Structure 1
Amino acid sequence: MTDGAARAAPAGGDRPPTTVAADLLAATKRRENPDPFLATLSGYDHDDLAPLRTDRHRALAFWTNLYNAGTQLLLERRPEIYDSPLRVLRFFRAEAVTVVGTGLGLDAIEHGILRGGRSKYGLGYLPRLPRPLERRYRVTCDPRIHFALNCGAASCPAIRAYRPGEVDDQLDIATASYLDRVVEYDPDRDVARVPRLFLWYRGDFGGGRAIRAMLDSYDAVPADVDPRLSYRRWDWSKAPAKFA
């Protein structure tokens, strides 16, 4: 196909993937039928998703919205696997959505794609063995995604719809909002109580010094302090539909 030539409508429909992912998320919020959007996503081919490989903003918006929509679908359609003692295995690996005919779980979207192919174990320092679709669409990890992804737990950040043209600003807002709500600084002990996300994904954030710099840049701790970090307990209580 020559540059500028009109091409056929995408196999999954004539709307871009970022729009369909946002519409799917909106459908879960309004408790409307998500199946038409799920069918569209499944019907796309790799040509339809090609912009996600070259445009970081589109990729961040698409995969973040898809993750959050997938969480809500699993909580509604398969709530028992979230309540399972084997949640880490069953809920996060269960098929949540299908893209280009490939079933994806939350782990695949988060760790395989949005975190650039890093293991959920090893504090963010170990690689993940990627599946072909993960390898094709993975992006360089932006640690702010940890304050945008909602896995259904009470400690998770609120859900927002992310738009390609605004995603950088939106991630800043989401990060600032979450840190403002969760971080507590004890001046007597010079200790900052921070989200457990900073421990689980320490490598994503660049280690302890970079975490402290991030807390400072978002005014989550007073200026000119260098606190010890204490990691808050994660509340796994199920909290569906936690939209901002």
Structure 2
Amino acid sequence: MMLTPIAHLFVSKRFAPIIALVLAVGLFMAPAARAAEPAELLRKAAIGSPATVDHSVWDRLLKQYVQTGADGITRVDYAPFKARGHSPLKQYIRDLEATDLAGLDRPEQFALLANLYNAKTVDIVLDHYPVASIKDISLGGTLFASLTGGPWKAKVLRLEGVEFSLDDIEHGILRAVFKDPRVHYAVNCASIGCPNLQPEAFTGARLSQQLDAAAKAYVNHPRGAAVAEGHLVISSIYNWFKADFGGSDEGVMRHLKAYAAPPLLDQLKSVRSVSGYAYDWHLNDIKQ
């Protein structure tokens, strides 16, 4: 249908705010659409390279401020960490951000990114401490993140001139590139329900051994998997990221059995399905 000049003007004015909004959203989204995927950060690796990254500062801080409780959960002594260890932690993070990732082989890249994720998470908690939960720290990054809380969407790291969020590191790089379910036992979200923050730094030379140990520790702890009266309750991690554990309850069960030890292994043999999920978002604070 042809519009008269007057009608065309009416339509233009009527929809001008909508058109302006669409154009604004388009301009806002355009840079994101053009941006490279986070996994591009590891587009290159020096396979077989003897180059290593010095994680001794992080290792020392972990040994000094992370303690394993009688319940098998590691907790952070945040108060003295904030007073005496925060400055060297920030310098360690800056040093990792300046590292040439392309000059490292894959295990070294994994170790660097896992350590960086965990160190930055602790850094963010220390910046806002005391808090009851990391979800009380809202750094934004997206509208949804601003409403739900947590620091995971905000661009808090810079590698090779590109800004990354914690979610970019975990989901866009570690999970996407390595496709290893043990990623979930490497990164720590500063919560009781999360797999332990290891009391030592990851290294490329010992990475597989460290990841296996972390997986076994979590699977065999009640917050990872627990059977009571024939009912299996497991961590919500296995529900949130079911695709990484075989994509089904059966796949999750196979994963659990691969790392389970008695008595859990014997209990799992009599369980046919998952009864429920649980997760504790309280801060992994030694004071709590």
TM more than 0.5: yes
Tell me the amino acid that sits aligned with residue 234 of structure 1.
Answer: Y
Change (3 A) 1:115 1:165: same
- In structure 2, stretches of 5+ residues that fail to align are 1-50, 66-80, 139-145
Change (3 A) 1:165 1:241: farther
Aligned positions of 1:106-145 closer than 5 A = 106-116=166-176, 139-145=177-183
CA contact (8 A) 1:68 1:150 kept: yes
The 3-state SS of whatever aligns with 2:182 is helix
CA contact (8 A) 2:136 2:150 kept: no
Give the fraction of aligned pairs with identical amino acids, expressed as a percent. Answer: 27
Instruction: Please give the alpha-carbon distance, in whole angstroms, between the structure 2 residues aligned to 1:26 and 1:97.
Output: 22
Change (3 A) 1:107 1:162: same
1:162 paired residue number: 202
- In structure 1, stretches of 5+ residues that fail to align are 1-15, 117-138
Q: How many residues align?
A: 197
Aligned positions of 1:207-226 closer than 5 A = 207=247, 208-219=249-260, 220-222=264-266, 224-226=269-271
Q: CA offset at residue 199 of structure 1?
A: 0.2
Q: CA offset at residue 90 of structure 1?
A: 4.7
TM-score by length of 2: 0.60
1:98 paired residue number: 158
Q: CA offset at residue 84 of structure 1?
A: 4.8
The 3-state SS of whatever aligns with 1:18 is coil
Write the deviation string for residues 181-215 of structure 1: whole angstroms up to 9, x where unpaired. 121113x43x3211111000000111222211122
1:203 paired residue number: 243
Tell me the amino acid that sits aligned with residue 202 of structure 1.
Answer: K
Instruction: Please give the alpha-carbon distance, in whole angstroms, between the structure 1 residues aligned to 2:112 and 2:172.
Output: 14
Instruction: Please give the alpha-carbon distance, in whole angstroms, between the structure 2 residues aligned to 1:241 and 1:149.
Output: 19
Point out the structure with the larger helix share: 2
TM-score by length of 1: 0.69
2:126 paired residue number: 76
CA contact (8 A) 1:155 1:236 kept: yes
The 3-state SS of whatever aligns with 1:110 is helix
1:237 paired residue number: 282
The Cα RMSD (Å) is: 2.8
